[in-house]
Structure 1
Amino acid sequence: MYQLVAIGNALLDTEFKLTDEILTQTGLTKGNMTLADTDEQTALFDILNTHGLTPTKQAGGGSAGNTVACFSALGGMSFYNCRVGHDKRGVFYLSDMANMGVTIDGGKAEVAGATGTCAVLVTDDGERTMQTNLAVSGQIDETNVDFDALTGAKYLYLEGYLAMTPSVQDAISKLCQTAKAQGVKIVVSFADPAVVRFAKDGVMSWLSDGVDMIFCNMDEAKLFAETDDDIQAVHALLNHAKVVVITNGANPTTVADKDSVRLYDVPPADVVDTNGAGDNFAGAFLYALAQGADYQACVGLAGAVASRVVSQFGARLPKAEYGLIKETVLG
């Protein structure tokens, strides 16, 4: 029986450290994710190679993948619906997730073709900019989903990037219907400002009947609400979710429901790389919530995990480190 069931893009992350000047030459929008085909991804790597840049790190990634990896590494039981290629990258990805304690049905997830990749470009201020070639993940559909995994689960987690993938919408609709029938809470993560800018209609289709929780950052909240006012953004999201969790960098995190809007401080961090911060925050928050913790304790654990993630390269910590943070924060 799983506590958290998620669906998302399975991607192998390749990280590069670079200057703002080189980032400008790539034509990518700083802080956003851009989808690319194989030729565009190759052209990007050519630009990076021209400047003598080599990867600082390569690891399993994907927004929801990072979330379930964090949740499981903390001691939770999670299941991940995804789609990988029958190639070396796919084998690495499945093995990497298994090592973090995440269950994936390889028979459903693995298909002929290439595993998706994500070039993560990290500038000197720690901001991450991404270019993603979805490859086979871009065709994820019902055949890759185990609906039975929802039986007895606490949460169904939907990754915002999938709002850009037409093939998966029927599966997501069926997952939501199954979740509601079984009393499983539906959680949506916006994941990236680009999702709100370019796939808001897709996200709205998930929110149309209301969900239990939304995770996003304040920039995404304001884009969604089309406002520059923090409180207006919060209340706009509460029209679609029972609970809203909004991170805001080093500023306090907002947790709001119909009764109140609360602000919780997060620990300071020496920012090296923001890749995966929000994903890990959501995973740690949901883990603590699944254990019966109050919102302050949930933010305490989530903030501690996220602050450690941004202080190093890569979107995930070693599995043992998650346990050490949990012991320190929750005892």
Structure 2
Amino acid sequence: MYDVMAIGNALVDHEYVLTDAALEDTGLVKGNMTLAELEEQQQLLAFFTLAEIEPSKQAGGGSAANAMFAFASLGGKPFYACRVGDDKQGQFYLQDLHQAGVATSAQSIHAGGVTGSCVVAVTDDGERTMQTYLGTSSDITADNVDFDALTQADWLYLEGYLAMSESIQPAMTQLRQQAGIHGAKIAVSFADPAVVKFAKDGLLNMLGNKVAVIFCNSEEARLFTDKKQTKAAARALLEHCQIAVVTDGAKGAVIAQKSENDTDDIVIHDIATPTVASVIDTNGAGDNYAGAFLYALSQQYSLPECGRLASEVSAQVIQQFGPRLESQDYQEIAKRVLSA
């Protein structure tokens, strides 16, 4: 049995630390994710080499995978569906997940494929800007999905980046239908402002008639709903979900919940962001927030407790390089927050 089945792009992250001026020279949009072909990514890496900017870290990445890594490290049982190549990067990627307790399937490995990679540019303010070459992950289809895993799961977690992939949409529809048949609740992460800007139709397909939970940040929520204020956007998201979780960096998070009995009754929870000494790297913060929140929710904790755990985990993530903590770090945070 699994607590959650997730599906997302499998990417190995390569992190670089650079100045705002250097980032501007790359042409990337700060704080956003840009899709690229292999040649474009090679050009970006060549720029870094010419500018003598060395990579600071290689780590398993991918939005849903980061969330499931946090989920497993906290003590949950996740299954992750993805597509990697039968190359060294793919082996590294899956082994990293297995060591954390994230189950995968042999269907994830595509013979002859090249595992996707993400160049993460981290500026002095800790903001992450990404250029992603999806590799074989761009061709993920129903063949890479172990649908039987969903029959054993209580939750289905869908990564927003997949809204940009046409090949996966039939599988998304099938997963939603199967979740309904087996009573699994659905959570959707918007993942990045670029997804809302350029693939809103794909997101709407993920959401279907309605899902249990939406995870997004304030910018994504406002883009999606056309609301100017975060709380107003969170309320508007409830047209598509039962619970809307909207993060807003140092300003905290807003959790909006629609009553199951009275559609006009909306409860708003404000969750404070812990004070941090310094922001080093925001890569993976939102993913970890979603993974930690969903873990606590799956264990029947209250929404404020879910929010506090998620905030503490993501606050720790942004104080280090890389999108994931060590497993014991997650457990120490859970012990401190959930036993308080």
* Fold-level similarity (TM above 0.5): yes
Partner of 1:301: 309
Select the residue among 249, 255, 260 that pairs with 2:267. Answer: 260
Partner of 1:64: 64
Confirm or deny: 8 A CA contact 2:222 2:230 kept in the other structure. yes
Partners of 1:323 and 1:317 lie apart in 2 by: 10
Partner of 1:20: 20
Partners of 2:147 and 2:194 lie apart in 1 by: 28
- Structure 2 residue runs of 5 or longer lacking an equivalent are 259-265
Amino acid at match of 1:312: Q
Partners of 1:185 and 1:111 lie apart in 2 by: 33
Amino acid at match of 2:128: R
Confirm or deny: 8 A CA contact 1:90 1:110 kept in the other structure. no
Return closer, same or farther for 1:108/1:10 CA change in 2, 3 Å cut-off. Answer: closer
Offset from partner CA, 1:261-299 (integer Å, 9 cap, x none): 221212122210000000000110111111111011111
Partner of 2:262: none
Does residue 291 of structure 1 match 2:326? no
Amino acid at match of 1:106: A
TM-score (norm 2): 0.95
Partner of 1:275: 283
Confirm or deny: 8 A CA contact 2:107 2:143 kept in the other structure. no
Does residue 328 of structure 1 match 2:339? no
Aligned residues: 331
Partners of 1:261 and 1:221 lie apart in 2 by: 15
Confirm or deny: 8 A CA contact 2:173 2:205 kept in the other structure. no
- State percent identity of aligned pairs: 51
Partners of 1:314 and 1:289 lie apart in 2 by: 25
Partners of 1:323 and 1:231 lie apart in 2 by: 31
The runs of at least 4 consecutive aligned structure 1 residues that moved more than 3 Å come to 107-111
2:2 is paired with a residue whose SS is coil
Confirm or deny: 8 A CA contact 2:5 2:157 kept in the other structure. yes
More divergent stretch after superposition (260-269 vs 41-50): 260-269
- What is the root-mean-square deviation of aligned Cα atoms in Å? 1.0
For residues 1-331 of structure 1, the aligned pairs below 5 Å read 1-258=1-258, 259-269=266-276, 270-331=278-339
Amino acid at match of 2:270: L
Partners of 1:98 and 1:47 lie apart in 2 by: 34
